[in-house]
Structure 1
Amino acid sequence: MRDPSLGSTSRIAFFCAAALLPLSRPATAQTAPPIQLDEVVVTPNLTPTETRAVGSAVTVIDSTELDERQVRVVSDVLRTVPGVTVGRSGPTGGLTQLRLRGAEANQTLVLIDGIEVNDPASGSEFDFAHLLAQGVERIEVLRGPQSALYGSDAIGGVVNIVTKRGTGAPTVAGFAEGGSQGFASGAMSAGGAVGKFDYYASAGGLRTDGVSSAAAWNGNDEADGYRNLTAFGKLGFQPLDILRLDAVGRVTDYRAESDDFLGGVGPVDGDGGSEGLQLFGRVDGRLALFDGRWRQRVGIARSHFDNDYLAGDVVTSTSIGDRTKIDYQSDLGLTSAFLVPARHDLTLLVEHQRDAADTASSYSAFDRSVEQTSLAGQYRLGLWDDLFLTGSVRHDWNDRFADDTTFRLTAAYTFDATGTKLRASYGTGVKNPTLFELYGYTDTYRGNPDLTPESAQGWDVGVDQWVWRERLLLQATYFNQRISDLIQGTGQTSINVAGTSTIQGVELGLMATPLADLTLRGSYTYTPGEDATGRRLVRQPAHQASLDVDYRFWHDRASINLGVTYTGEQQDLFYNADYTTRRVTLDDFVLIDVAATYDIGPNAQVYGRVENLLDTRYEEVAGYGSKGIGIVAGLKLAF
């Protein structure tokens, strides 16, 4: 087995790339403005909270960062977040799983504009392959067990994606680009506010001829293409200062070519594929009373997944997943000055959710649903504007499993004089068995209706330190997480594995603006996780790192962005001829991306990028290949 630390070749490539930083301007150039300190996040407490008051580990990616990196698929930027591992089965369009702190892909809850988008018919996980970055305003990644507020699916944490909302004068914008491997992408958007209404709409897509999904270096050379069409719209109406109504709808239509799979061989050239339709929607109303101290929200959200699996143009199986959720949230904020200045925030949350899955193929079919009603409460206490404490508790009434109670505690303390924030959190989590694990079956698999929910306990401690006149932020977190009753497939069915999986590690983050036009972001994660038998977690590298550098020049009309990601050695499962499994080791690798822009006018920009500059050959899933070097050029317009 190779040393899990950076290999010599990868180490040289990583640090050579870091040395390619654009030359800084002389010391007489404009000095950098301080990084904003009072950023607000929503995901940790379900309500806008200043980051200084948050005791959990959370990372924010905004639209500026997405534009600098020219991100087209959301999963590509999530790779750079501490604690996040992304695994894609082949090139663009292949199954893309996200793991937080070593938890399984279906143990992370994903939200888009407040809509839960984990698919009940596909293992209760979200496939990031089809999520384009067009119109995304903000991504918040909350790490650690979060079931106290978010219920099942949130053992690893929560990924919350928020799209843009119309403000100000009406605007229209768009971009079009093309490149190697038959790649083409583009989108149009329009948004603004008129009287009491605001609106935003976007429509776009992506296509590529691709490369072989099965690794080309194993003798596979048939290219597998992909196309994606995505549109969404948001409409807001504020008839009164205290009342606001919102609606959002999103649709994604995709088709992905893939390959076949043979036990004992792995992925091989074939005519497999999939096509699908995703429909997401939510409407809600918000009411603010007593000068905004009491805020209420009621909403209903629905997600629908319709997936067809193909052999050529013939549908071999289908799966339809539906999730409907009705929720009510009440937030009350109070202040007091008895003994010490204090801020009190109380939140009450009531939810009812129904998940349904309907699958059919030539060898199996099932149509099942499960419902759950939940009640959650949270109390936040702020003292002297320095110490912030949070306690949350939730109880779930499930019509299939025993009732369950989860909780979370967090603390944060800030030292403004030194720019230091200390934080800690502890939480419990639960993950209900998926409908397929309970009732599904194939020609080689039968569901197990006796499965019980997985449970988790996790804690972390960390420090955020501002230095150098608030131009440099250093972050460090130690986490420890334990998952019991883990559900694993045995080849013919699924069982709860006896024992506890132990996942611990360190997350490091860096953000700096040493000059007004130079921004650096870096991360490193060490996760030596083990399952209940003491073996390394599969598809979870012990070492991951990233570096992103963005530099603006030529009177702010031009920019260059350098992105470097390192993924360490990891293990995966290889299926033998009889579909038993054995472990294989996937090599570590470095990816380097370079992007550049030039503003040719106040409303027009030309740009280009080179993806996988070194043409690195790598595997994130055993037997599946990578797309190699890609070159793209495009034009962006706004009016």
Structure 2
Amino acid sequence: MDDAAELEEISVTANRIAGPQAAIGSAVSSISGKELEQRQIRVVSDVLRELPGVAVNRTGPVGALTQIRIRGSEGNQTLVIIDGIRMNDPGTSAEFDFANLLNLEVERVDVLRGPQSALYGSDAIGGVISIVTRKGEPGPTRFRASIEGGSFNTVTGTASVSGGTEAYDYLIAGQGFSTRGVSTAKRFDAYAPPGSLDRDGYRSGTGLAKVSVRPTENVEFTGVARYTEFDADRDGFGAASDGYPFAAAVDNRDTEKGKQFFGRAQARATLLDGAWDHVLGMSYTRQDRRSFDGTDLKTYASLGEMTRFDYQTNIRFQTGGALPASHVLTFGADHTRDAVKSFTAFPFPADAPNPLRKHIDNAGLVGQYQIGFFEKLFVTGSIRQDFNDRFDEATTYRVASAYTFDHTKTKLRASWGTGVKNPTTFELFGFSGNFVPNGDLKPERGEGWDVGFDQPLWSDRIVVDATYFQQRVRDLISSETVADPGDPTGFVNRPINVPGTSKIDGVELGLTVRPIDGLTLRAAYTFTDGEDATGATLVRRPRHVASFNANYAFFEGRANVNLGVVHNGRQRDFAYDATTYARTSVPLKAYTLVNVAASYKVTENAEVYGRVENLFDRKYEEVLTYDAPGRGAYGGLKLSF
């Protein structure tokens, strides 16, 4: 069975329960770990560029801040979950920075689009990205390792050991990555005359451990832990000269160091021959970031911790009669504490608490009911109530429906949902540089709906999907520039709720074709039209994003070639006046990137591979004034036994 067929069997992300694709009324896209390896993806965010509804912005080379936006939402309105752990960082902007997430044993990536707060709470106005890593398989112990090198003095290596029986399984894996990179600041910066820019390197190491124990057929205990440590060169941001009108990236010797821990312990019990299950879990995350200037002075530090307890139970049953139906009842409860500790060498105002310590508690109750008729028509309704120690109670809803026609296999689907995004601890209490917090911020409120279809053709060798969506966000948090109360000639920025409603509309298209055995062609296109309550175009949301990927496996699967093309259309980005720091927006040019990859299994246990990224050496910016790498070539060796 090929990967596509495997991905169509079940999905947990869309409804928080395992079930057939026919029961999913929301728009969700998936990609398998095997496909990531065929593309030779090393940074997980790179494959997200190929999925409908997703926009990626990275502030420079690998290791730089990487934001993901779904359907025009903000980066911190996208919830990221890895192996059941919520990854968003409460110590910064409450979003997950994909900069340090490399492709270490990733087995599957799901992107669920549209407001999902009824299922997942705050941070899910735009959607949810769920990533699952590989687990050990029954059988003898397996070892895997790889070593790779290439352009920009890049070296990466991975190693893993896994195994298991019917009673337990385990996986232990590690990865190291190092590159000299390229300069983050572009050459127009007056502080860096042509030829003088230094490279901004990046080094990271990640360890992953997963274990499951099944003392009986009905009980399973699972533990997962992930630890990442990184050291990155950074360029600053400030006033530009040489006639450039906006503040820009400034070449300097700044650095950032970080340590991240993510862990989860979970117990699952299944009763009544699988009809009733219970899941009890505890998650803990700790994300520590420290910034230094060129003299190794610690200029800023943030420590974000999240502690979460959650419980979910699902009851499945059937009813007969004239209209037989399947039913699934779901109930969930959770409690989350987000805590932050931050320090700055330049507090603003000068008498601000330093270091700053704050925390926010939130409890939630979730209820969901799904009914299915004749395995063709499914309707799912969800409701969540959140109790927050700082904000008013919030109630969010979601309804999704899907119908599959027997003869044509056409699946029609539609969903509607609401979302909430609480202000971050940084926006409420933070302090640094010319930033002033705002303790009066209100949560952002979202509402969205979509309608679409999935159509298989030619004995499932062709699959077409299309979705039209609308998103609305009230009280969007932005920023304004105001006079510095301590310096009449200076300016500061503070977050504010923009009155009114931001509007986002769009279309998502997908196409998969398998014309012959071994050849898979995939294409995706997204049109997004977004503007804030004032009518201004939302920044870092390109109107047009498209991708194409062709993969051909031959010689009985021993050889593989892959061609990937990503087009990112014209977009706008933030710009700050070099003198007043008043915020405006300016256009960024469209760009198209082409990547090629190939691999060959020399033996059953050894594989050689290579790839070229940005084949045509395209010069482009994903974030204003931040440079991106040019053409790069890489090659390596994989071993397994």
Q: Smaller-chain TM-score range?
A: over 0.9
1:159 to partner: Cα distance = 0.3
Query: Separation in 1 of the partners of 2:539 and 2:625?
Result: 14
Query: Separation in 2 of the partners of 1:612 and 1:478?
Result: 31
1:514 maps to which residue? 515
1:324 aligns with 2:307: yes
1:545-564 to structure 2, matched below 5 A, reads 545-564=546-565
Q: Choose the corresponding residue for 1:185, options 156, 159, 166.
A: 156
1:237 aligns with 2:213: yes
Q: Choose the corresponding residue for 1:141, options 98, 108, 111.
A: 111
1:626 maps to which residue? 628
Q: Is the 8 A contact 1:391 1:409 kept in 2?
A: yes
Q: Is the 8 A contact 1:35 1:471 kept in 2?
A: no
1:334 aligns with 2:334: no
Amino acid at match of 2:256: S
What does the per-residue CA deviation read over 1:427-456, in whole Å, with 9 as the maximum and x for residues that have no partner?
000000101111112242221111110001
1:209-608 to structure 2, matched below 5 A, reads 209-216=180-187, 219=194, 221-263=197-239, 264-312=246-294, 313-364=296-347, 365=354, 366-491=356-481, 492-577=493-578, 578-608=580-610
- Structure 1 residues 105 and 334, CA gap change in structure 2 (3 angstroms): same
Structure 2 residue runs of 5 or longer lacking an equivalent are: 240-245, 348-353, 482-492
1:21-32 to structure 2, matched below 5 A, reads none
Amino acid at match of 1:249: A
1:216 to partner: Cα distance = 4.0
Q: Is the 8 A contact 1:560 1:597 kept in 2?
A: yes
What does the per-residue CA deviation read over 1:513-569, in whole Å, with 9 as the maximum and x for residues that have no partner?
111110111100000111111111100000000000001123322111000000000
Query: Separation in 1 of the partners of 2:526 and 2:435?
Result: 36
Task: Pick which of 383-392 and 336-345 moved more.
Answer: 336-345
Amino acid at match of 1:271: R
1:416 to partner: Cα distance = 2.5
Amino acid at match of 1:124: A
Query: Separation in 1 of the partners of 2:249 and 2:4?
Result: 51
2:94 maps to which residue? 124
1:178 to partner: Cα distance = 0.2
1:161-172 to structure 2, matched below 5 A, reads 161-169=131-139, 170-172=141-143
Query: Separation in 1 of the partners of 2:33 and 2:544?
Result: 27
Q: Is the 8 A contact 2:22 2:375 kept in 1?
A: no
1:36 to partner: Cα distance = 5.7
Amino acid at match of 2:172: A
1:79 to partner: Cα distance = 0.6
Amino acid at match of 1:206: F
1:205 to partner: Cα distance = 1.5
Amino acid at match of 1:245: F
Query: Separation in 2 of the partners of 1:444 and 1:467?
Result: 57
Q: Is the 8 A contact 1:278 1:303 kept in 2?
A: yes
Query: Separation in 2 of the partners of 1:112 and 1:150?
Result: 14
1:314 to partner: Cα distance = 2.6
Query: Separation in 1 of the partners of 2:518 and 2:632?
Result: 27
Q: Is the 8 A contact 1:275 1:308 kept in 2?
A: yes
What does the per-residue CA deviation read over 1:575-619, in whole Å, with 9 as the maximum and x for residues that have no partner?
122221222110000000000001100111000000000000000
- Structure 1 residues 211 and 529, CA gap change in structure 2 (3 angstroms): same
Amino acid at match of 2:116: Q
Query: Separation in 2 of the partners of 1:201 and 1:594?
Result: 30
Q: Is the 8 A contact 1:34 1:471 kept in 2?
A: no
Q: Is the 8 A contact 1:34 1:470 kept in 2?
A: no
Q: Secondary structure at the match of 1:528?
A: strand
Query: Separation in 2 of the partners of 1:216 and 1:80?
Result: 30
- Structure 1 residues 506 and 399, CA gap change in structure 2 (3 angstroms): same
Query: Separation in 2 of the partners of 1:297 and 1:253?
Result: 31
Query: Separation in 1 of the partners of 2:187 and 2:515?
Result: 43
Q: Is the 8 A contact 1:35 1:513 kept in 2?
A: no
Q: Secondary structure at the match of 1:418?
A: coil
What does the per-residue CA deviation read over 1:30-83, in whole Å, with 9 as the maximum and x for residues that have no partner?
xx9995684211111111121111000000111111010001110010011100
Structure 1 stretches of 4+ with a deviation exceeding 3 A read 32-38, 216-220
Q: Secondary structure at the match of 1:212?
A: coil
Amino acid at match of 2:624: A
Amino acid at match of 1:204: Q
Q: Choose the corresponding residue for 2:52, options 79, 82, 88.
A: 82
Query: Separation in 1 of the partners of 2:172 and 2:378?
Result: 38
1:625 to partner: Cα distance = 0.5
Q: Secondary structure at the match of 2:331?
A: strand
- Structure 1 residues 217 and 363, CA gap change in structure 2 (3 angstroms): closer
1:75-114 to structure 2, matched below 5 A, reads 75-114=45-84
Q: Is the 8 A contact 2:7 2:30 kept in 1?
A: no
Amino acid at match of 1:212: S
Give me the CA root mean square deviation. 1.4
Query: Separation in 2 of the partners of 1:34 and 1:62?
Result: 8
Report how many aligned residue pairs link the two structures.
609
Task: Pick which of 301-310 and 43-52 moved more.
Answer: 43-52
2:613 maps to which residue? 611
Task: Pick which of 388-397 and 253-262 moved more.
Answer: 253-262
Q: Is the 8 A contact 2:7 2:32 kept in 1?
A: no
Q: Secondary structure at the match of 2:530?
A: coil
Amino acid at match of 1:361: T
Q: Is the 8 A contact 1:168 1:193 kept in 2?
A: yes
Query: Separation in 1 of the partners of 2:247 and 2:423?
Result: 30
Q: Is the 8 A contact 2:158 2:175 kept in 1?
A: yes
Query: Separation in 1 of the partners of 2:49 and 2:9?
Result: 22
- Structure 1 residues 469 and 195, CA gap change in structure 2 (3 angstroms): closer
1:194 to partner: Cα distance = 3.7
Amino acid at match of 1:546: S
- Structure 1 residues 515 and 94, CA gap change in structure 2 (3 angstroms): same
- Structure 1 residues 369 and 33, CA gap change in structure 2 (3 angstroms): closer
Q: Is the 8 A contact 1:172 1:191 kept in 2?
A: yes
Query: Separation in 2 of the partners of 1:510 and 1:387?
Result: 24
Amino acid at match of 2:260: Q
Structure 1 residue runs of 5 or longer lacking an equivalent are: 1-31
Query: Separation in 2 of the partners of 1:609 and 1:436?
Result: 40
Amino acid at match of 1:621: V
TM-score normalized with structure 2 length: 0.93
Q: What is the percentage of aligned positions where both structures have the same residue?
A: 47
What does the per-residue CA deviation read over 1:402-438, in whole Å, with 9 as the maximum and x for residues that have no partner?
0010000000000131020000000000000101111
Query: Separation in 2 of the partners of 1:325 and 1:158?
Result: 18
Amino acid at match of 1:430: V
Q: Is the 8 A contact 1:90 1:215 kept in 2?
A: no
Q: Is the 8 A contact 2:138 2:164 kept in 1?
A: yes
Query: Separation in 2 of the partners of 1:34 and 1:558?
Result: 19
Amino acid at match of 1:367: R
